[in-house]
A and B are shown apart, each in its own frame.
Chain A
Amino acid sequence: MPSKSKLKITQNELLNRLSAGLLITVIFLISWLWIKPTLVFFGQGQVMCTDIYTPWKNIFAQTPFYPGLCIDWPASVLSYIFFHFNFAAAIIITALAIALYTIASKIAKSLGQENLKLLSSIPAAMLMIQYARYYHWIEKPLSILLAATAFYYYDKTKLHPKIKLTLFFISTILIYITIPKGLLVFALLCITTELTQKNFRNSLILLLLAALSPWLCNLLIFKTDIIETCQRVLIFHPGQGFACNIITNTSIAYWPILIILCKIIKQKKNDASKFVKTFTAALPTILIIAAVFASADYTARNKKLADYYSYHQNWNKLLAKVETLSEKNYDILICHDVNRALYHKDQLTSNMFNYPQHYESLLLNNKESFTGGILWLVYPKLGNIYYELADINQAEHYTSEALELLGYYPHGLKQLALINIIKQQYSTAKVYLNALSKDPLYRKWAEKYLDKLNSPQLFKLDKNIMEKRNLWVGKDQDMTNRYAPQELFVANPENKMAFEYMMAFCLLTGQHTPVANSIKYLDKLDYPKGYIPKIYEQAILFYTQMTGQKANLATRKISAESLKTFQRFSQKASATSNMTTQQASEALGNDFKNTYYYYYHFLRPEK
């Protein structure tokens, strides 16, 4: 028979294990199912300096050796996993969160605090907050974890004070070279420990040594200046906003606070009731759930999901997801994805104005206006849309630009291989396919096409390749300042996508005359007989009203429903003639928001 106290210990242990299990499960489930860590690479610009798509590439050949390059490589390997495997990424986040929790508990325990579970779970909560807001700088939590672990073992080491100071100095040098973002955590932990023990002289020496080591490293090894030293050590994300910097820096400030609190808080006797014990054990889990859902960036998540579905060409899910976005969150990129999805679902000609639109939302006009970080998103999208439009050289241009900015992202390599196959440049395609085949996940696809390259006549059986080859027509000309769909369509009146995009462009820019004059092309493009797409009807009616001329509709007719809508709009619009634009917009918004008329009057910029 076990003694009562032994049974009590066993119950405590069981509770601890249950609480740990619950914590792991909750973190994993939230990460996997709700955060979806793979989304970190969508809907925003660059997230890492190193190449996440080809972590097997020699990163040392890319950049001069710098402090932190050692941690950047594992970070890029982990990021590669994040990009491809949501499940594995969730495991990584869980492991990282639990490791942070464990090391915080161990440090607290080494300072005599065994029951500071809630306090110990803060680093894990901070990590989860970062991922709930899609800040993916994985090298930073990794550095913090390693630095805290280094401190734990450093603190445990019992040595002569002078030897320990030497050990500290060597440690700071090693930490600065390998994980510079962890230096601050390590130094702060050591200094705070000395301060709490009232060893003011020692803490001052440690402070000096901690400042000296990176400076020395930069002077002797890296030959950089003091600005760079500070930048390597501090965690700061310019341009990422206040909240982001507060969250990331709190995760550093936490560690010295932990030491101080461990010294201040008095250890209580563990004689609480069963309920209190159970509640206390569940507190870390509650904290993490509360932290994630209170701080999550829901808009960012929805936008990322839309971009993710667009990347994977899951048009139905994309259209369903954007329904959850408020109108103000429809940025130019979301609009672009929506229009692309609408085209692929055969709805661009009917439902285009059911979604908010921007003047430049096709991305094809005024491309020079995109500068800075947005290019990371715009160029791959331009590469895709030009490829779909069969404007092959433009597709090659923008996919190559995207490859230069993003690194060898697999979709870019695939697309460039296909582009060169379309252009019958098989040896160039082979280079891209060989590069792609180095990625274990795309090897099979690349090898299939490499095999086909041995007998290129097989591509004549490839429907997609032949379709693009046939559509890519026209004479060579300078592509600067030209608008592709118009020229593509003029060169090949069978290019349906070019036609719909050309019409969409005319509508977005308020040119209803070319729309009215282009109805004759509907016959060649297999639109149902007698039918005119809804938004074209609206433009034609507008054209007739404004110019007094009738459009050449050949055998087609405006539907009665469109005529009725137009009449209703005209009546209501004339009633708003004395109102301000804002008032008129509100008055007409309820009934006509999804029409071209409304877009033309109230949303189209005066360009």
Chain B
Amino acid sequence: MKKNIKLILRLTISIVIVSYLAYLHFKPVIIRPCDFAHVERNANINPDNSNTVIPPNIAPLNFIIDEPAKKYYVEIYAEKNQNKIAITSNSPKIKIPHEKWARLLNKNKGKKIYFDIYTKENTKKTWTKFKTIENTVAEEEIDRYVVYRKMEALYTKHQAIGIYQRDLTNFSEKPIVRGKGFRRPFDTSSGGCVNCHCFCNNSPDKMVIAFRDSKFGFDELIAIDGKIKKIGTKFGYPTWHPTGQMITYSINKVFQFFHSKRNEVRDVVDLDSALSYYDLKSQKVKTSSQFSSKEKLETFPNFSPDGKYLYYCCATTDLKGNDQQRFDWLKENHKKIRYDLMRISYDIKTDTWGQAETVLSSKETNKSILLPRISPDGKFIIFCMCDYSSFSLYLKDSDLYIANLDQFNQTGKLKYSRLTCNSNWPESWHCWSSNNRWLVFSSKRFEGRLFTKLYICHIDENGNSSKPILLPQQDPSFYDSFIGFYGLAELIKKPVNISEKEIIAAVRSSEKINIDMPLTGATFKAKLDYAPNNTQQTRE
């Protein structure tokens, strides 16, 4: 027995020594190349996070050096060679040490940082040094967490849809709720769908999440200060009133169809849509004839930060009759549908709506105006414009535009401009940070067609955007083989404090607040007497 113990001990010690020696042997030794030739171009790096503005609290922007070489050396430093990070690697994947990176960014807010990239091919004796890459570290931090929906290439069936929360200061990703979790052990059917999460004032204290499930129904979860309530109706695209007392949302009757020859196979039209709002105090759903007209398609509501205006998109159509008739009309005419940017005043104290007014007409822009999002200081509005319809991500020309609302309030005319962060591929589904300086948005530029990724860009005081950076991942090649989508990003200041188990328990629970809808599908219930302008329909 003793002999055996001795033998095991000896073996263990030998293995430890050999492993340590092997580690020392294979560990790249950091030796700064002295003998190198300059190349007057930037090294190809992927993702290309060069010449941009980066948040001072972002996780390391790991990258791949896309140059033929056997050895790689990277120096990252601030002015006067301060806080230098040196990385030697035999692989083109450059992983930046987290602590050093955080220190570098923290000490250089508002200043530039530099990336020197050297490569060495086996056949050559000298190293090659590429042109120094410059990036600016912004003064303003980005909200620490981003909440997004992650799913695979979605057509009509889905297995793994989830809403996740990512800590932007590192690489940790935590699920808030995954549709697969709805299922009981024996149930091999598809998991539920979770969608349209929304927060009040970039805070997770007030949150809504919609879910759709063949077993547990189509309902909404409202979480306030860690307590979840299930509401017996599903909100479409929601927006919180800044006071947190009501949620306005769209009801969309969506129809998906497929193209036979276009590169993007999928397309979506709204057969019908309208806006409604849920009063948290009275637990009633209400609407107004101003934004629930049968001939119009109203969608994408967003409150101004002072809560006095509701911005939304509205398309005037010739839609009539039942779903089939509407679909037939849309099949021929969906490319003619363009949304105007509208707004309507609202007084939360008296619960009264003003008169809807057109902020920007699609006739003027010749494009469909979608997804208005107002900066938390109320100064800017960013919206998305594309050729037609309301589902911008399936349309190649979808881009983000910015306009100054202060100017609009003074002159009554909205002057807009295309953000420079756009690409040749679809951009949309954007979100402001709470300090007005950062924008997270979805874009398909990574591979150009199918998979949306999240990008972060800086918006300066004049509304100019920086070159966007791709949401960093620990493995810089992560996106190269990721068959999936990141969408509907929402920035929040602190983490969501409700566990996934609690959310799933609420989904499965039979307890819910039953709602009598003033709308059927997306329009007023039949025989409901329309009130004149400025009044809303209420039903208990």
Contacts and interface: CB of A to CB of B under 8 A. Distances in A.
A482 B449 CA distance: 25
Contact of A400 (B155, B260, B449, B501): B155
A63 interface: yes
A407 to B, nearest CB: 8
A360 interface: no
Given A228-B184, A232-B185, A405-B159, A435 B261 contact: no
B186 interface: yes
A65 B158 CA distance: 20
A476 B261 contact: yes
Given A228-B184, A427-B449, A431-B483, A404 B261 contact: no
B481 A404 contact: no
B181 A63 contact: yes
A224 B181 CA distance: 11
A405 B156 CA distance: 10
B482 interface: yes
Interface stretch (A109-117, A289-297, A390-398): A390-398
Contacts of B450: 425, 428, 431
Given A404-B152, A405-B159, A408-B483, A393 B261 contact: yes
A400 B257 contact: no
B481 A434 contact: yes
Interface string A461-502: 000000000001011111110100001000000000000000
Contact of B259 (A63, A393, A434, A438): A393
Contacts of B152: 403-404
A347 interface: no
A148 to B, nearest CB: 22
A430 B449 CA distance: 12
A63 B187 CA distance: 13
Given A62-B178, A63-B178, A49 B260 contact: no
Tell me whether chain B's interface is mostly helix, strand or loop, or mixed.
loop
Interface in B233-280: 257-263, 265-267
A393 B481 contact: no
Contact of A476 (B175, B190, B262, B477): B262
B448 interface: yes
Contacts of B154: 404
B16 interface: no
Nearest to B173: A61
Interface string A18-49: 00000000000000000000000000001001
A425 B175 contact: no
Scoring B259, B448, B449, B483 by chain A CB atoms within 10 A of each residue's CB, the highest score goes to B483
Contacts of A409: none
A480 to B, nearest CB: 5
B8 interface: no
B501 A479 contact: no
Given A430-B480, A478-B331, A393 B265 contact: yes
Contacts of A155: none
Contacts of A231: 184-186
A404 B185 contact: no
Given A62-B180, A231-B186, A425-B449, A404 B157 contact: yes
Contacts of B502: 223
B260 A393 contact: yes
A64 B447 contact: no
Contacts of B265: 393, 396-397
Contact of A475 (B153, B156, B261): B261
B411 interface: no
B500 interface: yes
A553 B180 CA distance: 58
Contact of B263 (A64, A224, A425): A425
Contact of B501 (A223, A227, A432): A223
A64 B184 contact: no
Contacts of A405: 157, 159, 190
B188 interface: yes
Contact of A431 (B263, B266, B451, B504): B451
Nearest to B264: A393
A459 interface: no
Contacts of A435: 481-483
Interface of B: 152-160, 175, 178, 180-181, 184-186, 188, 190, 257-263, 265-267, 331, 446-451, 477, 480-483, 499-502, 504-505
Given A61-B175, A405-B157, A431-B482, 10 more contacts: A393-B261, A397-B265, A397-B266, A400-B155, A404-B154, A420-B449, A423-B263, A477-B260, A478-B258, A482-B260
30 contacts: A46-B188, A62-B160, A63-B180, A64-B175, A64-B178, A64-B180, A64-B500, A223-B502, A231-B185, A231-B186, A375-B157, A379-B157, A397-B155, A401-B155, A401-B157, A403-B483, A405-B157, A405-B159, A425-B448, A425-B450, A428-B449, A431-B450, A431-B482, A434-B477, A475-B261, A476-B259, A476-B261, A477-B260, A478-B267, A479-B258
